[in-house]
């Protein structure tokens, strides 16, 4: 086996390049994964465009990417559940295991998490990574490593659905038909919510939502969202609303389109970090408001949903770029948001 690997690095805002680094050696509890597909996430694009997200500041050279699928090529001495040749999806956050959040099962809130592509931790736009074996989830024979790379954003969708208490018989709406909004819709439907309305201003994304099973779509640039939801629900409103767009107007509309006693789940981050909301109306309706930070205990159920055919992940992807074309992959994903719903980088066959 070779000892060097190619690594794509962000050398500055809007600048990608390549380096050669040593292939890591897995520790006792780790597996060495040959990466095959890595998704381009919105956070990757934000770091690429702006160099920071809040207090997380990129110091070049920095490796982006945290949505990964690949094949095990070596295992550490303590690893028993994986073997060479297993195809896996990688959960990107390693937590401490000792804090109150880890001990109570809410490990996604661990303050000491080490998460791919969150500065100063490098991501996985590279050929090989050594990762904690317990965070490498084996894929069934009928689930590809391309789909494995998309388990990470699907986990966000399932966590949002779970935070909203999704169940059969509900009427739901999702603001935003980008990748995460679509994943929320797919998770809602997998959990029995048969009626899901998708709301966006980009028609191609709404078309993708219909392709993937949305009940109906609303173009907020052309239609009055509140009036349209009232029409679609005969004035009842929605039982569950998931907000992934991250804008003030969609947060306000979320309150307006819910029925009394409904739940709103906030997933999308606003640029300013602040939102003005009609809180009096929310109180009058006695709404439950929940939020999402990544996910927890989701990968096995997400993989099973894909394997059982409940969720079609492959059709979420609109663009696949070769690893050598990483500069174009990032630039196109930033500049062509009208047409690119989800980009994936093919690292290796």
Q: Domain limits of the chain?
A: 4-150+317-346, 157-291
Written as six digits, the tokens of 85 are: 């040749």
Give 140's contacts (C-beta < 8 A, 6+ positions apart): 303, 307
Task: Name which of 224, 223, 285, 220 is nearest 258 in CA terms.
Answer: 285
Q: How many C-alpha atoms does 81 have within 13 Å on its Cβ side? A: 11
Q: Kindly list the distances between the CA atom of residue 86 and the CA atoms of 31, 32, 73, 138, in Å, as whole numbers in the listed order.
A: 10, 11, 8, 6
Cα–Cα distance, 302 to 142 (Å, whole number): 14
φ, ψ dihedrals at 292, nearest 5° = -130, 130
Look up residue 235 and give its DSSP letter: T
Domain 157-291, second-level architecture = 3-Layer(aba) Sandwich (3.40)
Helix 151-163 × helix 179-190 angle, to 10°: 60
Residue in this structure with the two tokens 């047409």, named with its chain if needed: 339
Cα–Cα distance, 134 to 116 (Å, whole number): 15
Q: What is the pLDDT along the chain (349 residues), one digit of tens a residue?
A: 689 999 999 999 999 999 999 999 999 999 999 999 999 999 999 999 999 998 899 999 999 999 999 999 999 999 999 999 999 999 999 999 999 999 999 999 999 999 999 999 999 999 999 999 999 999 999 999 999 999 999 999 999 999 999 999 999 999 999 999 999 999 999 999 999 999 999 999 999 999 999 999 999 999 999 999 999 999 999 999 999 999 999 999 999 999 999 999 999 988 888 999 999 999 999 999 999 999 999 999 999 999 999 999 999 999 999 999 999 999 999 999 889 999 999 999 8
Q: What torsion, rounded to 10 degrees, do the Cα atoms 194, 196, 202, 208 define? A: -10
CATH class entry, domain 4-150+317-346: alpha beta
Cα–Cα distance, 38 to 183 (Å, whole number): 17
């Amino acid at each position: 086996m070779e000892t060097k690997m190619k690594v794509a690095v962000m050398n500055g805002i809007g600048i990608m390049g390549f380096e050669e680094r040593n292939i890591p050696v897995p520790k006792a509890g780790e597996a060495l994964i040959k990466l095959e597909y890595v998704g381009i996430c919105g956070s990757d694009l934000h770091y690429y465009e702006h160099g920071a997200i809040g207090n997380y500041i990129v110091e070049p050279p920095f490796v982006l990417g945290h949505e990964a699928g690949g094949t095990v090529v070596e295992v550490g001495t303590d690893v028993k559940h994986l073997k060479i040749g297993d195809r896996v999806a990688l959960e990107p956050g390693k937590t401490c295991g000792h804090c109150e959040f880890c001990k109570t099962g809410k490990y996604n809130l661990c303050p000491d998490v080490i998460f791919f592509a969150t500065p100063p931790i490098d991501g996985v736009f590279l050929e090989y990574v050594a990762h904690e074996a317990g965070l490498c989830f084996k894929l069934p024979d009928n689930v590809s490593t391309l789909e494995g790379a998309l388990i990470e954003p699907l986990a966000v969708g399932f966590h949002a659905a779970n935070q909203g208490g999704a169940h059969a018989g509900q009427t739901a709406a999702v603001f935003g038909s980008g990748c995460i909004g679509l994943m929320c819709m797919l998770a809602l439907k997998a959990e029995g919510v048969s009626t899901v309305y998708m709301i966006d201003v980009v028609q191609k994304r709404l078309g993708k939502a219909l392709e993937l099973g949305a009940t109906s779509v609303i173009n907020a640039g052309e239609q009055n969202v509140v009036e349209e939801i009232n029409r679609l629900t005969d004035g009842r409103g929605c039982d569950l609303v998931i907000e992934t767009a991250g804008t003030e107007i969609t947060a306000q509309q979320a309150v307006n389109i819910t029925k009394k006693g409904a739940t709103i789940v906030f997933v999308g981050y606003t640029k300013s970090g602040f939102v003005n909301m009609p809180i009096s109306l929310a109180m009058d309706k006695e709404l439950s408001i929940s939020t999402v930070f990544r996910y927890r205990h989701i990968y096995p159920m997400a993989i099973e949903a894909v394997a059982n055919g409940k969720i079609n992940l492959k059709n979420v992807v609109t663009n696949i770029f070769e690893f050598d074309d990483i500069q174009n992959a990032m630039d196109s994903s930033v500049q062509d948001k009208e047409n690119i719903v989800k980009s994936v980088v093919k690292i290796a066959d």
